């Protein structure tokens, strides 16, 4: 297991090394070119080394604001990123032999001398724009009414429909303890509801209704 971890780490290092090496070489060359231009323009000593640091820092600040900013702040970040990129690219081209490093033109000396003020302005704007932008909260669309959720109401229990227990006259008589004639007479007299069954020759009554009707009759008779 230790061997596999070591092998994976080695592959990871080999994969990253060329990228880091390329970035380091490019940064070192650009850094040296900007230093050479600053030195040739009369900015000697530590000042010549401060120029490439200023250009690269402004580029990094602008790149971060481009990734996190929105709207106008992002456009401003794009401007300062392109400006610092142009300064770095211009120094690389100028030191490629197209200019006499011993006698730089006046306009280039003016640009080099004015760069610190420009970089300070750009850095200040980028920092202040980052501090001024509050976290934006999602806004509701204008004109749309706010719909409040309806309170939950417990559904009332729904009673099941009444289902009669259908029996014949004889079956009803056995259950209530009366004669079939008595049950038939109550049905014919309208005291019990008649139900049609599968057999048209038979008439059915509700057993529960029979118990209710005949129990009331017994109570009135005092039985």
pTM flag (> 0.85): no
Determine the distance from the C-alpha atom of residue 123 to the mean position of all C-alpha atoms in its chain, rounded to a whole number: 33
β-bridge partners, 194: 205
Could you tell me which residues come within 8 angstroms of residue 47 by beta carbon, excluding any fewer than 6 positions away?
38
Regarding whether 113 and 20 lie in a shared domain, the answer is yes
β-bridge partners, 167: 205
CA angle 37, 43, 44 (to 5 degrees): 105
Find the domain containing 84 and state its range: 2-132
Regarding whether 70 and 8 lie in a shared domain, the answer is yes
- Residue 52 within any structural domain of the chain: yes
Regarding whether 189 and 121 lie in a shared domain, the answer is no
Could you tell me which residues come within 8 angstroms of residue 102 by beta carbon, excluding any fewer than 6 positions away?
40
Regarding whether 172 and 109 lie in a shared domain, the answer is no
**Sign of the CA dihedral with 47 first, then 52, 55, and 59 last:** negative
Tokens of 6: 């070591």
Model confidence at 83, pLDDT cuts 50, 70, 90, reads: very high
Regarding whether 174 and 127 lie in a shared domain, the answer is no
- Residue 26 burial class via C-beta count within 10 angstroms: exposed 0-12, middle 13-18, buried 19 and up: exposed
- Residue 139 within any structural domain of the chain: no
Regarding whether 176 and 108 lie in a shared domain, the answer is no
Regarding whether 181 and 100 lie in a shared domain, the answer is no
Which of 124, 115, 120 lies closest to 48 in space, CA to CA? 115
- Residue 86 within any structural domain of the chain: yes
Regarding whether 123 and 171 lie in a shared domain, the answer is no
What pLDDT score was predicted for residue 100?
82
Regarding whether 173 and 128 lie in a shared domain, the answer is no
Regarding whether 32 and 109 lie in a shared domain, the answer is yes
Higher pLDDT: 218 or 165? It is 165
What pLDDT score was predicted for residue 20?
78
pLDDT tens per residue across span 170-204: 787 787 777 878 878 887 777 777 777 777 677 77
What pLDDT score was predicted for residue 2?
47
- Residue 126 burial class via C-beta count within 10 angstroms: exposed 0-12, middle 13-18, buried 19 and up: buried
Q: What is the DSSP letter of 149?
A: P
Instruction: Count the domains in the chain.
Output: 2
What pLDDT score was predicted for residue 120?
92
- Residue 108 within any structural domain of the chain: yes
Distance from the first to the final alpha carbon of the chain: 96
Q: How confident is the prediction for the chain on average, in pLDDT?
A: 78
Q: Report the 10 Å Cβ neighbour count for 162.
A: 7
What pLDDT score was predicted for residue 144?
61
Regarding whether 99 and 34 lie in a shared domain, the answer is yes
């Amino acid at each position: 297991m230790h061997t596999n971890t070591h092998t994976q780490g080695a592959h990871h290092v080999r994969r990253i090394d060329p990228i880091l090496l390329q970035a380091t070489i490019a940064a070192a060359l650009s850094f040296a070119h900007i230093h050479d231009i600053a030195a040739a323009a009369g900015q000697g000593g530590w000042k010549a080394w401060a120029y490439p640091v200023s250009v690269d820092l402004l580029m990094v600040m602008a790149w971060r604001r481009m990734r996190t900013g929105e709207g106008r702040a992002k456009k401003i970040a794009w401007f300062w990123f392109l400006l610092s990129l142009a300064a770095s690219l211009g120094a690389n081209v100028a030191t490629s032999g197209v200019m006499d490093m011993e006698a730089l033109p006046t306009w280039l000396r003016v640009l080099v001398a004015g760069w610190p003020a420009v970089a300070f302005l750009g850095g200040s704007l980028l920092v202040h724009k980052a501090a001024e932008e509050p976290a934006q909260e999602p806004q509701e669309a204008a004109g749309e009414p706010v719909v409040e959720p309806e309170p939950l109401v417990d559904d009332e229990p729904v009673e099941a429909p009444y289902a009669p227990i259908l029996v014949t006259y004889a079956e009803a008589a056995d259950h209530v303890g009366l004669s079939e004639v008595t049950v038939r007479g109550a049905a014919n007299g309208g005291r019990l509801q008649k139900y049609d069954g599968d057999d048209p020759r038979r008439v059915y009554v509700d057993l529960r209704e029979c118990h209710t009707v005949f129990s009331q009759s017994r109570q009135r008779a005092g039985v």
